[in-house]
Each structure stands twice: as C-alpha cells, then as structure tokens.
Amino acid sequence: MILKGEKILKQYRHSGGIINALDQVSFTINKGDFVTVTGRSGSGKSTLLLSLFGLIRLSSGKIIFNGKRIDDISDNHLTGIRKKSVGYILQSFALIPYLTTIQNVMIPLALEKISQKVQRKRASEILDFVGLSDRMDHLPRELSAGQQQRVAIARSIVHQPQIIMADEPTGNLDPMLSLEILEFLKKINEENKTTIMMVTHSPVAAEYGTVKLHLNEGKIVSS
C-alpha cells in the first residue's frame, strides 16, 4: 500500500450552508497502480486529487502515505513530500511561460537543490524519453498542445516521484493527442512502476486504469 484515504471529508461553507465536496471517502492504492478517478463535474474528483498531498486541507479524515499519516503534518513537511515523492500533471499544462522546455523540466530538480549539471543531464534524458529532445530550447508558446503536455509529463517524472497525480491531463487535447499522452502515462506506469492517480472525464482514459474510482456528489460509488 502506498496511499490510503480513510473517511476523508472536505466541507465548504457558503451562504447557503455547508457543501460536502468529499464525503467520507475511503480508498487504498498500491504501489504501481494506475488509478483513474471519474465522475461528473462537481463530483469532487479534483478536490480529492489535490487534497491528498496538502494542496487542499481536509475537514476530517486520514491520509496515509508510505505507512505514515500525512493529513495532520505541517505545511513545510507536506511541501517536502510533494517535492520528493509526487509529480503533478494539470489539464492546462501549467508550464512557466518564460522558461524553455528544458528549464521547465529542471525546476523540480532545482527545488531539490540538485547540481545544475545533473539537472540538465536528467532533464535531457527525460525530454528524450517523451520525444522532445529537439525542442529543448523552445518556449512553451512555441510548442503544440500535445508537446506542452509532454513537457508537463517530463516535468512530473524528472525527479522520479513515487506517485503521479494527473488532473484531466487530456482535457485540452484532441482524441489523437489524448491517446498519445495516455500511452505515455501507461509506459511510465509499466516501465518505472510509478503509481499514477488520474482524474478524467473521458471514458477512454478511464479504461487505462487498473483501479477505477467513481465519485458522485463527493462519495465513492464504485471502485
């Protein structure tokens, strides 16, 4: 078991009352799983993904990562876990616009204060892996959407995380590019045994999951 959620509750208060974005959600993810999280808009998929490593703080419940409870630890400690063990891929790619492809990929290594020489070597290898070795010095705006997402994938795996959290990684891509990205993720999952948790609307993408969670109104209705 790499990640476990127990009775996760996330409530939002607003003028009309309290909304349970996540309502007593429990699950277990094992190392090497490719987990897909599906559900309608507003079902709590992204909230679940972002709350697991502290980007959203829970109202109650437990999150256990590598056997240790992480829902009640300090912000700095959670930041440290995200830096070393988690890679994120977002629907909008979230690349830094003024950095080149390779510089974007080097950021997670820079945050770990790894030497620039090693950063460049590893980033080059990863960009080669995602097929962008000829686009290293391009700015994000000079790349296609599919290429940008591949840069985002490269950035999410360059520091060899234990788990990748992907929030609608194919949401902005056409079907062909989506398949290409999904194949990449599958390759990463299978070759590196990296655990992947992917939120998606797409039934096609959901089929890539070896573990499938379906959320409805903040509750897991099937797994």
Partner 1 sequence: MTISKLVLIELWKRKSQLITGLLAITLGISVIVAIQSVSVVSEENVARNLDNLGANILVLPQVTSIDDYYTSDIDAPTLPMDYVERILNSTIAGVDNMSPKLTRRVKVGDQSVVFTGILPKSEIASKPLWQSSGLLGTQLTTACAPNQSANKSHGLEEEKLKRKAIDTLYSDDCFAGSQVAKRLKLSVKGRINIMGKNFKVVKILPETGTVDDDRIFANLRDVQQLLKIENQVSAIEIMGCCNAISEGLLGQLRNILPDTRVTTIGQIVSTQIKTNQLMKKVTLVMLIIIFFVGGISIGNYIWANVNERKREIGVLRMMGAERSTIYKMFMLKAIILGIAGGILGFLLGTLAGVILGPYLAGINVQPVYMYLLWSILLSVAISLTGSLIPTYLAAKFDPHSNLQED
Residues in contact with partner 1 by CB under 8 A are 50, 55-56, 75-76, 79-80, 82-84, 86, 88, 90-92, 94, 96, 98-99, 103, 106-112, 116, 119, 155
Nearer to partner 1, 91 or 195 (CB): 91
Nearer to partner 1, 70 or 94 (CB): 94
Nearer to partner 1, 80 or 175 (CB): 80
Buried b / exposed e over 129-147, threshold 16 CB at 10 Å, is bbebeebbebbbeebeebb
As measured in angstroms, the least distance from the Cβ of 133 to partner 1 is: 18
Nearer to partner 1, 55 or 179 (CB): 55
As measured in angstroms, the least distance from the Cβ of 135 to partner 1 is: 17
Q: Is 65 exposed, middle or buried (0-12, 13-18, 19+ CB in 10 A)?
A: buried
* Tally of CA atoms within 13 A in the half-sphere of 7 that contains its CB: 2
Residues 6 or more apart in contact with residue 102 via CB below 8 angstroms: 120, 123, 124, 127, 136, 137
Nearer to partner 1, 12 or 207 (CB): 12
| Residue 3 CA, distance from chain mean position | 14
Buried b / exposed e over 33-58, threshold 16 CB at 10 Å, is bbbbbbbeeebbbbbbbbbbbbebeb
As measured in angstroms, the least distance from the Cβ of 87 to partner 1 is: 8
As measured in angstroms, the least distance from the Cβ of 103 to partner 1 is: 6
As measured in angstroms, the least distance from the Cβ of 169 to partner 1 is: 12
Nearer to partner 1, 2 or 158 (CB): 158
The neighbouring-strand residues paired with 101 are: none
Q: In 130-167, where does DSSP find H-type helix?
A: 145-157
CA distance 8 to 71: 10
Q: Is 109 exposed, middle or buried (0-12, 13-18, 19+ CB in 10 A)?
A: buried
As measured in angstroms, the least distance from the Cβ of 79 to partner 1 is: 5
